[in-house]
Amino acid sequence: MFAVTPDPTFRPRCFAIVPCAGVGERAAAGGPKQYHPVAGQALVAHTLSALARVARLDATLVVLSPSDDQFERHVPHFGGEHAWVARVGGASRAESVLNGMDELVARGAQPHDWVLVHDAARCLVEPAWVDRLMAECEDDEVGGLLALPLADTLKAGASGADGAARATTTVDRRDKWAAQTPQVFRLGLLQPALRHALADPVTAAAITDEASAIEALGHQPRLVVGNYENIKVTWPGDFALAERLLRTRA
């Protein structure tokens, strides 16, 4: 029998994937929202500069649409040994992330490495929040995500006979959390989870974040309390809100 001595210098790496291949339909900004100017820069430039200040990240991969011809113009300083771009975006966010993971594998990522996924559209993320998520998940079997216990009362809604939106029921909010990004999982868990979820078009539609694909396999991602400012710029009014918040940060 051999005794396997653990290598004390072994450390899994952590790669960030930033899905940035959406069209921004709900934001109605006349183009992909990630390039809309906010506080003097394209929205995604703020996101990437926050991630660049997270020391625990070994590299960041931005996933763009195959037809993207704007990224380099809006984020001219992104690049180099630890800042990668791949034009492999898919039809859904989940597909973009899965394609991004294939790219990481082609660049040498291993199953035990961590993949931290963060929406390009969450430009208010702070390095300290990313760091806290990674620290809290470091020894977790599954991985986890930033999320907030739901504060508002939650309504199910439907379109009434008069065309107005109407509340049909109130959903018990006591065990509900609003999921944010970043979300961090081992490559060897997240890649098959997303592949499995996307194989069936019915389940694929419900996979709106990484954690939902992990849950579909029966695992329970860790919920790490996030921050109210970590909004996902989604609606037209969100650009002005993001701008106000960014301008209050020195």
Rounded to 5 degrees, φ, ψ at 99 are -65, -35
63 contributes a contact to ligand CTP by CB under 6 A? yes
Minimum gap (Å) between residue 5 Cβ and ligand CTP: 42
Kindly report the number of other CB atoms within 10 A of residue 48's CB atom: 22
How far does Cα 19 stand from its chain's mean position? 7
- In the bound state with ligand CTP, the residue whose beta carbon lies nearer, of 113 and 119, is 119
Dist CA 212 CA 179 (whole Å): 10
- In the bound state with ligand CTP, the residue whose beta carbon lies nearer, of 73 and 174, is 73
Minimum gap (Å) between residue 226 Cβ and Mg ion: 20
Please count the residues of the chain: 250
Dist CA 135 CA 153 (whole Å): 31
182 contributes a contact to ligand CTP by CB under 6 A? no
Q: Which one of the spans 1-9, 22-30, 131-139, 187-195 is the region binding Mg ion (CB under 5 A)?
A: 22-30
205 contributes a contact to ligand CTP by CB under 6 A? no
- In the bound state with Mg ion, the residue whose beta carbon lies nearer, of 32 and 54, is 32
- Name the residue whose CB lies closest to ligand CTP: 22
Q: Please identify which residue in 14, 59, 71, 93 interacts with ligand CTP, judged by CB under 6 A.
A: 93
- In the bound state with Mg ion, the residue whose beta carbon lies nearer, of 21 and 59, is 21
Which amino acid appears at position 228 of this protein? Y
Rounded to 5 degrees, φ, ψ at 143 are 115, -170
Rg over alpha carbons for the chain, rounded to the nearest Å, is: 19
Dist CA 115 CA 186 (whole Å): 6
Binding partner of residue 89 among ligand CTP, Mg ion, none, CB cut-off 5 to 8 Å per kind = ligand CTP
